[in-house]
Structure 1
Amino acid sequence: MLDFIFKKEILELEAFQPSLTEIKSVDPAMGENMEQSLRAAVRESHELILKANTPDQLHIGLIKEQLHIQAQSSQYLNITDEMTMKKNNLLEFMPQIYNQFMNEVEQEMTRFFQEKKMEMYHEIDQDGSWYSGLRDTTKKSGQLYNFAINKINSVSKELQGKEVIADQHLVDTKSIVEKVLEKHLSNQTVTNQVTQIFEATVKRYKDAWMQRIADNVPDMKRISAFSLTQTSKANLKINFQYGDAEKVLAMGIGSAVFGTVGLAMGWHTLTYALFNVFPPIAIFAALATVLVGVLTKDRAVEKRKQDINEAVTRYHHFFLQQLYVLKLSELENKSISEYIELKGRAIVEETVKEWERKYFGKLRIEHFRKLNQAFVRHLMYVNEAME
Structure 2
Amino acid sequence: MRGIYRKSGLGDETYVPPFIFNSNVESTLDYAVQEAEEGMFSSVDSVFNKTKLDPQQIDVLIVTSGTFTSVPSLTSILVNRYNLRPDVKTFNLSGMGCSSGVLCVDLAGNVLRGCTKSKYALVVITESISLNWYFGDDRSMLVTNCIFRVGCAAAIITNDPSQRRFSKMELVNSLRTHHGADNSAYKAAFQKEDEFGNLGISLTKDLIRVAGANLRDHIRLLAPRVLPLSQLALYAYSVIQSVLSQGELKPIVPDFTTAFDHICIHTGGKAVIEQVGGVLKLGEEVTEPARMSLHRFGNTSSSLVFYELAYFEAKGRVKRGDKMWMLAFGTGFKVCSIVFKSLRDSPNNHDEIEMDNPWRDCIHRYPTNTW
- TM-score grouping bracket, smaller chain normalisation: under 0.3
Higher helix proportion (structure 1 or 2): 1
Q: TM-score, normalised by structure 1?
A: 0.20
Q: TM-score, normalised by structure 2?
A: 0.21
Higher strand proportion (structure 1 or 2): 2
Structure 1 or 2, whichever has the larger Rg, is: 1
